[in-house]
Amino acid sequence: MTARAEVLLLGTAPLVRIAARGLRAHGAGVTPWTLPAGCPAATAAALAAAASRAPYWADAAGSPTVISLWTDQDLLDAVARHVLPGLAPAAQWLQLGPHGVLRAAGLEAAVRRRGGSAVHAQLNWDLRKGRLYLRCRPRALLLGSLPALPVRAWVESLPDLPDPLARRAARATCPTP
């Protein structure tokens, strides 16, 4: 049995690599689980099902914080159903992706039923620069006190989208804490 990391980081390869680097720079222990970029949801479901039977999966899924970086809802749904059974009590799940907040409502409800909390924040990225941009910082910080200070520090360090119109639109549509 391995030591449980503070964060289980799920997503596609380029996004997980960027996020893992940032989380580790802030001192977080990270267990990454990645899919290749462009992976279809059916393949993601099969890979997650196989991974969920591996000896390390219980420790990984039981991390106090889960951060997922999925580019579409189908990938989130395909993998989440294999993570949820092992979710730690009072776990906090932060879903980051380009789709709207309402698309992650099912995940939020499923995590709440297991005694945890979940929130979705819109995220964009620039792979050439290796940067992630948070589109709705107030929504991401609604988790309250994240269990690990390094995770909070990483979230707070994510820059806003550089486009002034995108920032103005995010302020208009994002709840404030």
Query: Can you give the residue range of the structural domain that contains 65?
Result: 7-173
pLDDT for res 43: 95
Domain of 93, CATH number, reads 3.40.50.720
pLDDT for res 161: 75
Q: Does 1 reside within a domain?
A: no
- Sort strands 131-134 and 117-126 into parallel, antiparallel or unpaired: antiparallel
Q: How far apart are CA 142 and CA 122, in angstroms?
A: 13
Q: How far apart are CA 42 and CA 93, in angstroms?
A: 23
Q: Does 131 reside within a domain?
A: yes
Beta strand extents in the chain (DSSP E only) = 7-12, 30-35, 65-69, 92-97, 117-126, 131-134
Three-state DSSP at 25 gives helix
Which single residue is written with the structure tokens 């309250």? 144
Q: Does 20 reside within a domain?
A: yes
> Dihedrals φ, ψ of 78, to 5°?
-65, -35
Q: Does 2 reside within a domain?
A: no
Extract the residue ranges of the chain whose pLDDT is less than 70: 1-4, 100-103, 137-148, 163-177
Q: Does 56 reside within a domain?
A: yes
pTM score, whole prediction: 0.85
pLDDT for res 177: 43
Q: Does 114 reside within a domain?
A: yes
Number of domains into which the chain is organized = 1
User: What's the one-letter identity of residue 4?
Assistant: R
Q: Does 160 reside within a domain?
A: yes
pLDDT for res 165: 47
User: Which token pair is 84?
Assistant: 């949820």
Q: How far apart are CA 113 and CA 68, in angstroms?
A: 19
